[in-house]
């Protein structure tokens, strides 16, 4: 009986000891870990200073042809089209033949040159005759003076000879004026023939229409065999694609950022990773009452060969750069609708501060108000600061 009781006691004692040891091990295993130092995840950098504009506007626009480098080719005379030597998209050079025309007016134009040349020959003959008469009158006057000195003739004969010289000189001047007019008339007719692409042979009733400038054929509205009587209708359009412009609508509130003659940065949707430069050629004189914007025209100064009309573009306009604090974009966060940054007051302690941001500088942004150079801002781990 005693032995059983003792055994029972030992058994209970052992169980209690085991439970006690088990609880002790369980307590030691479930002990909470030491808190992590979250401040180690926060990265801080000092505020730098760079030259940046205080204000900037990006105005949407598009690529357009330079209106001063577009030519609409027309017929100088009515007639029948015998040959079209270009197609849409062809590159042409100034003076290159484009269209051949057969017209009865060609003979008339050449005939006008013949008449002008005949008038010039007649005028030159009249001048030669007048100059010969003047030479004879001058000789007669000299002889009359010699005879008068020897008392061979009266003085009135000398005066009469001088009068003839004066009249002959006037006739020569008039003949020279006629020659000048005839030369101008012939030159005018000759230039017209050159404009028409004609020579002065008059052997054929054909003429050639030539390209007025270097460029490409953008439109073609003529085929061989047509007879055209309306010379005001365009045959084709040739444009110089090396001279393109950008037109953009700039809000009136931002017009102070743009001036005629200044260089601007141009961004193209077709080339998102590239920047083009241009020069402001003109600012519109009026404001669109609907959009409250003015039309700004920019001439591209480089890279225009890669662009095409009607491409979408953006103008980046800004004021003169000044020294401003700049921070990484990762440092700028929104908190309850307010833009700001976290400032390191002392190691491990941070304050929230509202700021006013300015122009974006790639991965950094200029700060207009709220920061000074040298202050330390949080640039990584800002989300941890929201929870602490």
Cα distance between residue 236 and residue 259, in whole Å: 36
> Are both 127 and 192 inside the same structural domain?
yes
The count of structural domains within the chain is 3
Strand order in the sheet with 234-239: 70-74, 234-239, 215-220, 91-92
> Are both 168 and 190 inside the same structural domain?
yes
Domain of 298: which CATH number?
2.40.30.170
The long-range contacts involving 329-338, CB below 8 angstroms and separated by at least 24 positions, are 329/360, 329/363, 329/364, 329/365, 330/379, 330/380, 330/382, 331/45, 331/377, 331/378, 331/379, 331/382, 332/357, 332/365, 333/382, 335/386
| Residue pLDDT, tens place only, 299-315 | 887 666 778 888 999 88
Q: What is the pLDDT of residue 156?
A: 87
In a domain, 123, yes or no: yes
In a domain, 92, yes or no: no
Sign of the CA dihedral running 304, 310, 312, 313? positive
Domain of 331: which CATH number?
2.40.420.20
The long-range contacts involving 87-91, CB below 8 angstroms and separated by at least 24 positions, are 87/217, 87/220, 88/217, 88/218, 88/219, 88/220, 89/216, 89/217, 90/216, 90/217, 91/215, 91/216
| Residue pLDDT, tens place only, 123-168 | 999 999 999 999 999 998 899 888 888 888 888 888 888 899 899 9
Tell the burial category of 326 from Cβ atoms under 10 Å away from its Cβ (0-12, 13-18, 19+): buried
In a domain, 7, yes or no: no
Domain span at 162:
105-203
> Are both 296 and 340 inside the same structural domain?
no
> Are both 280 and 354 inside the same structural domain?
no
| Residue pLDDT, tens place only, 50-84 | 888 888 888 899 999 888 889 999 988 888 999 99
Residue 159's SS3 state is helix
Q: What is the pLDDT of residue 133?
A: 92
Q: What is the pLDDT of residue 39?
A: 63
In a domain, 22, yes or no: no
> Are both 306 and 339 inside the same structural domain?
no
Both tokens of 39, joined, read 């401040």
Residues of the chain with pLDDT under 50: 1-29, 34
Q: What is the pLDDT of residue 388?
A: 58
Q: What is the pLDDT of residue 202?
A: 52
Helices (H), 30-151: 105-149
Q: Scanning the structure block, which residue is given the tokens 């058994």?
A: 11
Q: pTM value?
A: 0.55
SS3 content of the chain, % helix, strand, coil (to 5): 35, 35, 30
> Are both 193 and 113 inside the same structural domain?
yes
User: Which residue, among 122, 115, 106, 109, has the nearest Cα to 185 in the 3D structure?
Assistant: 115
Cα distance between residue 154 and residue 267, in whole Å: 96
> Are both 264 and 327 inside the same structural domain?
no
> Are both 140 and 175 inside the same structural domain?
yes
């Amino acid at each position: 009986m005693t032995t059983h009781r003792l055994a029972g006691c030992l058994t209970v004692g052992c169980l209690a000891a085991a439970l006690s040891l088990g609880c002790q091990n369980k307590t030691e295993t479930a002990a909470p870990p030491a808190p992590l130092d979250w401040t180690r995840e926060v990265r801080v950098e000092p505020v730098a200073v760079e030259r940046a504009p205080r204000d900037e506007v990006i105005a949407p626009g598009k690529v357009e042809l330079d209106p001063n480098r577009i030519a609409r080719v027309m017929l100088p005379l009515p007639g029948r089209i015998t040959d079209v030597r270009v197609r849409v998209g062809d590159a042409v050079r100034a003076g290159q033949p484009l269209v051949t025309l057969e017209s009865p007016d060609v003979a008339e134009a050449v005939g006008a040159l013949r008449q002008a040349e005949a008038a010039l020959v007649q005028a030159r003959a009249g001048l030669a005759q007048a100059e010969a008469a003047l030479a004879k009158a001058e000789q007669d006057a000299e002889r009359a003076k010699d005879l008068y000195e020897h008392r061979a003739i009266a003085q009135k004969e000398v005066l009469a000879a001088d009068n003839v010289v004066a009249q002959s000189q006037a006739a020569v001047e008039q003949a020279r004026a006629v020659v000048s007019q005839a030369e101008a008339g012939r030159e005018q007719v000759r230039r017209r023939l050159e404009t028409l692409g004609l020579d002065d042979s008059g052997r054929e009733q054909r003429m050639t229409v030539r390209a007025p400038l270097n460029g490409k054929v953008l439109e073609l509205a003529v085929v061989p065999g047509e007879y055209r009587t309306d010379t005001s209708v365009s045959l084709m359009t040739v444009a110089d694609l090396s001279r393109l412009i950008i037109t953009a609508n700039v809000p009136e509130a931002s017009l102070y950022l743009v001036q005629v003659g200044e260089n601007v940065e141009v961004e193209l949707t077709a080339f998102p990773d590239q920047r083009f430069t241009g020069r402001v050629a003109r600012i519109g004189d009026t404001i669109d009452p609907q959009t409250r914007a003015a039309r700004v025209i920019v001439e591209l100064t480089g890279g225009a060969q890669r662009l095409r009309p009607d491409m979408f573009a953006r103008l980046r306009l800004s004021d003169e750069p000044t020294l401003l604090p700049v921070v990484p974009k990762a440092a700028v966060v929104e908190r309850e609708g307010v833009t700001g940054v976290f400032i390191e007051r002392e190691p491990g302690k941070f304050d929230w501060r509202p700021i006013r941001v300015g122009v974006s500088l790639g991965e950094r942004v200029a700060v207009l108000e709220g920061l000074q150079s040298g202050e330390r801002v949080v640039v990584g781990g800002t989300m941890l600061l929201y929870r602490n």
